[in-house]
Structure 1
Amino acid sequence: SEVQNAALGLYLRTCRAKIIDDDLYPTNQSVDGLSGLGLMREYVKMNLGDPQVFRSTCLHLFFDLIKGLYLFLTFYLSMYLVDVVLSPGEEAARGKEEGEGAERRMLLSAIHGAAKHAARALGEDFGEEEGPGMVAHTLIIPGHRRSTAMVIAALYIVPFGLLHMVDLFR
């Protein structure tokens, strides 16, 4: 009932109080000897000392990792879609006449030549014979380009939907 440096409300029995002390936040180490990175480290140690914050942080890091893996999945599926599903078959490439096919082959060989020259300029080992690529060269459903494209669409959409739902409830 004896309040100092505060006002007590008429109908209140409790109040919030701020405790002001000389402790430094987040640690009591000397401010002069603590760099920006050291201050960040102490702040992270203080936060991760709380079990609820630790659990939530680990959960967020896990879902962010899953989002990064989804990004790589979409890159791979894009390459697979362009290089395998949408590319004309070998029979169609062999059956073309010299008109449009020659222009496309010339453009393609110019692009490959420029890529080889850029790789040499950057000092990378770029041999003439290529090893197995990152993208498989067979259809997921052999002989059915449209069905393979639908499977790839599902592989895009389903993880996206799941990640979106996780973001909504996070």
Structure 2
Amino acid sequence: MSTTPNERLRGLLEPLVHAKDLDLEEIELSRAGRRGLLRVIVDSDEGVELDTCAELSREISEKLDETDAMGEGEYVLEVSSPGAERPLTEPRHYVRATGRLVKLQLTEGGELVTRILAVDEDGLDTEVPGVKGRKATARRVEFAQIAKARVEIEFSRKDKKEEEA
């Protein structure tokens, strides 16, 4: 039973990522001219610091050099956290976005911009912001109702720490 290059890389890199208490979100393998390009996307509930990405990048590079996982050619390795506009696809992504404004594309059609208040195994408890002086309203959204989801960028968003104080 053969595995894909991504599956082999995931098996090789996942232990290194988990040792840093991070989740391996994505592995992207592509070509950049004559070189291979390997993007490793990691995340955690607390986010990922730049120093952690740099340290993990060194460890991954050493591991890849010990094996033939990237073949004989040159390659570029990028280790980073997900971008702000990454789609929310796993329940843990929604948990990490608690308190954030999200845009949900609904399976029944239409979209909803709402703030995630809580997440459980079945879906989200949210608050739809009020418009033109109206009060915000609570809304429950089941995961089965969500076709796509993405965090909305807020420039004047209150930080969770500020809200808790």
Q: Is TM (by shorter chain) over 0.5?
A: no
Q: Shorter-chain TM-score: which interval? A: under 0.3
Larger helix proportion of the pair:
1
Structure 1 length normalisation: TM-score?
Answer: 0.21
Higher relative contact order (CA 8 A, sep 6+): 1
